[in-house]
Structure 1
Amino acid sequence: MMQQTAEVPSAVEDAPDYFLPCLLAVLAHLDKPMSEAALRARVSDPDAGWTWDLVGDTLQSLGLSVQWAPCTLDLLTQAVQPVLVKLHSGGCAALLPSHEWDEPMVMWPARSGALERCDLAALMSASAGLCMSVQPPLRPPKDQAHLPKGRMGHWFFGPLLAARSMYWQVALAALLTNVFALSASIFSMIVYDRVMPNNAMDTLTALVVGVCFVLFSDFVIRTVRGYFLDVAGARADAVIADSLFEQVLDIDLAARKGSVGAMASVLKEYESIRDFLTSATLTTLIDIPFAILFLVVIAMVGGPLFWVLVIIIPVMIGASLVVQPALKRLVQTSFEDDQNKHGVLVETLNGLETVKAIGAGAQMRHRWQKAIAHQAQIGLRTRMLSQFAGNVATISSQAATIAIVSYGVVLAHDGSIGTGAIVACSMLAGKAIAPLSQLAQLVTRINQSFSSYKALKELMESPREHPPQTTFIPREKIAGDIEFRNVSFQYPGQQSGGLDKVSFTIKAGEKVAILGRVGSGKTTVSKLMQGLRVPTEGAVLVDGCDLRQFDKADLRRNIGTVLQDVWLISGTVGSNIALGGLRPSNEDVLWASQIAGVHDFIAPHPDGYNLKLAERGEGLSGGQRQAVSIARALVGKPPILIMDEPTSSMDMNAEKALIDRLKSHLTASTLVVITHKSSLLDLVDRVIVVDQGKVVADGPKSLVLGPAAAKGATP
């Protein structure tokens, strides 16, 4: 009897799911058929039950266009694309236009599990008044079909264009604020030229009231402008960041370049783009064109004073442009240095225990200092160039004020302009020069953002496991036959560790061990079976079909994998085990835990399966982590189980108990064991020996290893 403390959290709901059949029917109708496993692998919350909002979000994440609208009879009658109708009773129905019948077909899971002729009147009466129309995206040109797409078109510009209405409002607000910025200058000019000479105090009162109203309006509009920028940036940020992380999860491992730290650094560079989109830098960029407005007003008010700025502004802009080529090179070098520095940091943190254990701290610190020192030198040069352009801008601004006042006095003495015009032009000159004086810093930020965008663009254009415009045939279940047909494979940039013309067949339900020396290619075989790597020559077939025909989510839901390096997430023991299944039930988690031996050490613990684990499963021993990994591989009851050194950290008693349980429970599953331990050979009937990337022996255990080895001697 299970103890009270060994509770398995988060039971799966027993309520029927009326959303999933409709979603699958819509995807099939649009020539994007998917299995439930493949669909769950593409949603942001795979453990949640399907909801109306999650269905819409999922369709958008798959690149489909979704439009929500009130459900009307005219809309349903005229529908030429699938329409999902939300129902009063919960769930939904899918209206699918049909070319075979006069009326459309409907998938109504609450009434039937199959397509049926649609009674629009009945559907309208059951409707909750809301529906969503689903349309496929426009087909891109052939030369752009391979480019990455987000849920709003282009992965980066799509979300920005989706917020274009807000950016138009920001532009309008910028126009108003810059027009209002004229008020203080005009106020000063009128006071000096009209109010003071005539002692017109009533006029002064009216002017003060008017300018106060303008200033208050300016404050409100600037606040609203900042709010719109933040909202637009936040919305785009959420979508772009999600697209980037989805690309990381779906990237073809053969296309991954550099270290983990370097890739993490590339993703971190998105922060600089996000800051650019939401900070005052973008506001400055928006304000630059309005410098022309102030120059026009200066020409109208001050006449010849306009030429002072015509002479000074090119000097400011010229200084900024002169330093830009060098700044661009330095920014790119700094970006590369930051990748190296971040790589050292991530590498050290991932192996901190090992670094301490072997005394490698000094070497890692030297690498860190080297990266920091070079980046500091680049940073110094970057700041010096930026300061040069900034200092030229500051001096130019001061010189403009002095020149306008001095020249203005001369013009006032001749009667060309009034005293108020001098004051107004001085104020307007400051407003015209202010955004231009920040041009050097602004262009530097643009260069940094552009370098970050190029790195992210390269990442987004890396080959994916689910290429755009590619459709896979759904395979909910596979039998378990595996065949290697003249498979050759070589890791990119390496001369060893691959396979050479490997051929063998494993029948469904067969139990096979793959043996070989270190570096012989055993682990490579397992990676090819899982679709983590693609053969350079030959083919890997499952159930007679090339693995490249499978949706990788379908394949991996049918393959339970225990890797050499155990990876656990921070969370509970129960949640770590549940990762291996498609929303497994409490009974599934408990069943897998008992076979793997997790229940033996979790049942007596006060927290049971709610025991919290730190990052990488810290808090458990090496053998316990392996037990959790084995339970995770078993929880989905896959027809194929691949185990790579699954008991290397277990003691003899735990290993023997595990072997006994696996022998009694895995009678129907295909089992592939990669090991150096003779004890695990009790699980198999057949042995494949790999050496230097080739199969050198293949046959029954007793024939390949001899009678002694078959009984447990070291192979």
Structure 2
Amino acid sequence: MESSDLARQAFASAAQALAAISAHFGKRVSQARIEMALPSGADESEATNFHAMAGEAGLVGDALDQDISCLRGSHAPCLIGYVSAHGRKKWLAVSQIAGNGLAVCATPDGRSETINLNGVASQAGICIWSLAPLAGVEKTMSERAGTQTGLRAFIPGSDVLVPVVAATITVNILALAIPLATMNIFDRVISNNAFDTLWALAIGVALALGFDLTLKSMRTLLLDKASARSDVILSNHLFSRILGARMGARKAGIGIAANSLREFEGVREYLNAVTLSSLGDLPFVALFLLVIWLVAGNVVVVPLIAIPALFLAALATQGRLRKLVDGSFRDTAHKNSVAIEVLGGIETIKANRAERWAAQLWERAVASQLSHSLAIRWWTSLSINLVTTFQGLATISVLVYGVYLVTAGQITPGALFAANMLTARCLGPLAAIAALLSRLHQMRIAYASVRSLADMEQEHAPERELVVSGPIRQSLAFEGVTFGFNPQLPPVLSGVSMSIAVGERVGIIGGIGSGKSTLLNLILAMHEPASGRVLADGIPLTHLDPAEYRQNFGSVLQDPAFFQGTLRENVLLGRSDIGDLEIYKALEASGALAWVRRQPLGLDTPVGERGAGLSSGQRQTLALARAFAGDPAFLVLDEPSSDLDMASEAALVGRLKNLSGSTTLVLVTHRPALLEAVNRIVVLEGGRILLDGPREEVLQRLKGVVEERRQSTQTVSLQVSA
């Protein structure tokens, strides 16, 4: 078994154990939901994955450095992990620990069983995690969902912040070494020919510079590592928020969403180690001003005037930059949309000889975006140049004013040189901050764009404890369901009421735009009705955990998606409960096994981006295999034979007829042959149920309706011609 399969099984076992401990504390969280909290899998440490999964379960965990024989009642509840004889990592959810090595293990459904821990102690790879309820679970989870994408997440933790602050303080104190040494060399060494003092100062400054270099390098390294860690956590969290968002909350197009994800890089680059270092140096401007006043007296007036002038120079261009950045973001999003649409539809463009039209779309998008980009660069450059100019003016002003004070005998030449160097040091972090101000609005736009993705309404609201219902045992029902994608347009479904019993075989037919595919999406809890309810065993779907509920289904949607990877990966899509033998069984049921056997690489055959390496028929059978994998209790199929030839379609009908009696089939089709696999037909027209009943009865009634309408149309035509 591959290591990735073992890892998936280990995560599934841990998720099941965490669900059991969560149930022990009175909070029901499904295993599927906990597994969805995994950050990124193989690239993360086991501890990182465990903390993420425990947090999703409303728990907080700590690793225990204890032998199993030393566990006492105070250590429960806890999770005990071990590697079985077959090399698989398994986890036990221990709710109570008694004497003589006995322990009570909990299960997600609330049951318990007693085990002997002495038997577990002999296993390899023992690890133990103690668990406790997360204080204020709902509030904490909500805050995590809403604020982890905020700027505060980029602030290093105490393990990094303490040494960084210490290094920053030391670096800024060491920055005084050269100015003070310069002052002493000009005022004392030269006039007294004190060469021993000169070399002592030089060696001291050299040591200070070496120490300064070491501390700065360590500070940058620590900040970069902290930023990288935050970047991984935040990017994973952001993507999980996108995946977990309700379909109705996805207002932006794919191009805009992709651009918003790209803008996350802009936020991260803005808040990098250089930015944090500059912010850390900012408080020490007051120290440098104090030293200037101590050694050069009134010369301190010059940097005191230069500091606000420098900030005003940086702010002077912000108004114009704000307008340009707004326009640039819209243009960049539009350009991304054009690129995605054109590249995704390149075959259609070539087939319709539309290359010139597509090129014109791209040229207009690039020209508009480029004009804004050039203007932004010019104004940003102007802002930086103004800051540089003010730095130069501050330097010459210190020298000019200082010369008058030197000739008046108020300060020494060494003090003037020291003040000049300290002024440059004083304005350095301010100049960096001013440069950051010139990009502030760009960062704010990028942050707002990222935040709009992170704040999308989630399928599983963190503050809600949704019902974990398990398998559907009785029926799915629609009660007066009305649904539309756009409130300004007529609803796609209107007042639909029907019930599908477990084990039924239902065919959904109707004209174009009658709402067939939308009905299937509502069954899969992809959308919420505008009014009415969809119920599973009498429980509204809005009350159920969607991840757990969808485990009942195998589905083929109207436009099944494929991803770059192998055949195996595209059938599994990350599922850990299906082995290769079950994949072959699903391939056989879908009709894909015949062509898969001809592939030299078998299940390791790459399918290409969006399944480009497969024919349309192969993609159709692969999508069916994905639906059949794992023998789901419900099969929801939308036009499953649209790309199949007649022989393949006939074979599919035969397989659907031979489904086990407990399997429920909901089938949308325009192909009469597929209706042989169902025993009930629902006819939709204009978003309403026109007919519903046994197959033969509905087909007979439908013929009557069609004939009646044909005659009515002929009558109207005769009246018009008359």
**Partner SS, residue 477 of structure 2:** strand
**TM norm structure 2:** 0.88
Paired amino acid for 1:216: G
Cα 1:374–1:62 shift into 2, 3 Å: farther
Instruction: Give 2:206's match in structure 1, choosing from 201, 207, 212.
Output: 212
C-alpha displacement of 1:357: 2.4
Cα 1:525–1:582 shift into 2, 3 Å: farther
**Partner SS, residue 473 of structure 2:** coil
Instruction: Give 2:63's match in structure 1, choosing from 63, 68, 77.
Output: 68
The answer to whether the aligner puts 1:639 opposite 2:633 as a matched pair is yes
Cα 1:61–1:159 shift into 2, 3 Å: farther
**Partner SS, residue 676 of structure 1:** coil
Structure 2 CA distance, aligned partners of 1:419 and 1:690?
A: 94
Structure 1 CA distance, aligned partners of 2:64 and 2:6?
A: 32
The answer to whether the aligner puts 1:567 opposite 2:561 as a matched pair is yes
Structure 1 CA distance, aligned partners of 2:684 and 2:588?
A: 33
Cα 1:92–1:509 shift into 2, 3 Å: closer
Instruction: Give 2:586's match in structure 1, choosing from 566, 589, 592.
Output: 592
Structure 2 CA distance, aligned partners of 1:355 and 1:548?
A: 41
C-alpha displacement of 1:78: 7.2
Aligned to 1:309: 303
The answer to whether the aligner puts 1:510 opposite 2:504 as a matched pair is yes
Instruction: Give 1:693's match in structure 2, choosing from 680, 687, 690.
Output: 687
Structure 1 CA distance, aligned partners of 2:49 and 2:269?
A: 29
Instruction: Give 1:222's match in structure 2, choosing from 205, 211, 216.
Output: 216
Aligned to 2:484: 490
Instruction: Give 1:233's match in structure 2, choosing from 227, 238, 241.
Output: 227
Aligned to 1:442: 436
The answer to whether the aligner puts 1:29 opposite 2:24 as a matched pair is yes
C-alpha displacement of 1:591: 0.8
C-alpha displacement of 1:680: 1.0
**TM norm structure 1:** 0.88
C-alpha displacement of 1:255: 0.9
Structure 2 CA distance, aligned partners of 1:647 and 1:68?
A: 52
Aligned to 1:131: 128
Unaligned runs of 5+ in 1: 1-6
Per-residue Cα deviation, 1:47-101 (whole angstroms, up to 9, x for no partner): 99x9777444421344532223433899965748733345697745444369xx9
Q: Percent identity?
A: 32
The answer to whether the aligner puts 1:96 opposite 2:95 as a matched pair is yes
Aligned to 1:458: 452
C-alpha displacement of 1:442: 0.6
The answer to whether the aligner puts 1:179 opposite 2:178 as a matched pair is no
C-alpha displacement of 1:557: 1.5
Cα 1:542–1:118 shift into 2, 3 Å: closer
Contact 1:513 1:681 in 2 (8 A): yes
Q: Which moved more, 1:267-276 or 1:434-443?
A: 434-443
Per-residue Cα deviation, 1:625-678 (whole angstroms, up to 9, x for no partner): 000000000002111111111111111111112222222235431111111111
The answer to whether the aligner puts 1:674 opposite 2:668 as a matched pair is yes
Aligned to 1:4: none
Aligned to 1:648: 642
Structure 1 CA distance, aligned partners of 2:515 and 2:91?
A: 50
Paired amino acid for 1:137: L
Aligned to 1:170: 164
Instruction: Give 2:333's match in structure 1, choosing from 323, 335, 339.
Output: 339
C-alpha displacement of 1:258: 1.6
The answer to whether the aligner puts 1:393 opposite 2:390 as a matched pair is no
The aligned runs of 1:239-638 (5 Å cut-off) are 239-479=233-473, 481-496=475-490, 498-579=492-573, 582-638=576-632
Paired amino acid for 1:225: R
Structure 1 CA distance, aligned partners of 2:702 and 2:445?
A: 63
Structure 2 CA distance, aligned partners of 1:192 and 1:14?
A: 70
Contact 1:59 1:66 in 2 (8 A): yes
Paired amino acid for 1:687: I
The answer to whether the aligner puts 1:83 opposite 2:82 as a matched pair is no
C-alpha displacement of 1:12: 7.3
Per-residue Cα deviation, 1:506-546 (whole angstroms, up to 9, x for no partner): 22111111111111111110000000011111111223322
Cα 1:75–1:135 shift into 2, 3 Å: farther
**Partner SS, residue 526 of structure 2:** coil
Cα 1:43–1:695 shift into 2, 3 Å: same
Structure 2 CA distance, aligned partners of 1:130 and 1:161?
A: 32
Aligned residues: 697
C-alpha displacement of 1:408: 1.9
C-alpha displacement of 1:361: 3.5
Structure 1 CA distance, aligned partners of 2:695 and 2:574?
A: 30
Cα 1:522–1:708 shift into 2, 3 Å: closer
The answer to whether the aligner puts 1:115 opposite 2:112 as a matched pair is yes
**Partner SS, residue 425 of structure 2:** helix
Contact 2:474 2:502 in 1 (8 A): yes
**Partner SS, residue 26 of structure 1:** helix
Question: What is the RMSD of the two structures over their aligned residues, measured on CA atoms?
Answer: 3.6
Per-residue Cα deviation, 1:315-335 (whole angstroms, up to 9, x for no partner): 211122233333334333322
Structure 2 CA distance, aligned partners of 1:63 and 1:326?
A: 47
Per-residue Cα deviation, 1:285-334 (whole angstroms, up to 9, x for no partner): 33233222222211111112111222222221112223333333433332
Contact 2:8 2:576 in 1 (8 A): no
**Partner SS, residue 662 of structure 2:** coil
Cα 1:105–1:470 shift into 2, 3 Å: farther
C-alpha displacement of 1:252: 0.4
Q: Which has the higher contact order (CA 8 A, sep 6+)?
A: 1
C-alpha displacement of 1:281: 3.0
Q: Which moved more, 1:375-384 or 1:22-31?
A: 375-384
Paired amino acid for 1:96: S
Structure 1 CA distance, aligned partners of 2:583 and 2:115?
A: 41
**Partner SS, residue 535 of structure 2:** strand
Paired amino acid for 1:354: T
**Partner SS, residue 271 of structure 2:** helix
Cα 1:544–1:105 shift into 2, 3 Å: farther
Structure 2 CA distance, aligned partners of 1:8 and 1:180?
A: 55
Structure 2 CA distance, aligned partners of 1:247 and 1:567?
A: 20
Structure 2 CA distance, aligned partners of 1:297 and 1:31?
A: 62
Contact 1:37 1:582 in 2 (8 A): no
Structure 2 CA distance, aligned partners of 1:163 and 1:654?
A: 60
C-alpha displacement of 1:246: 0.5
Cα 1:364–1:15 shift into 2, 3 Å: closer
C-alpha displacement of 1:620: 0.9
Q: Which moved more, 1:503-512 or 1:488-497?
A: 488-497
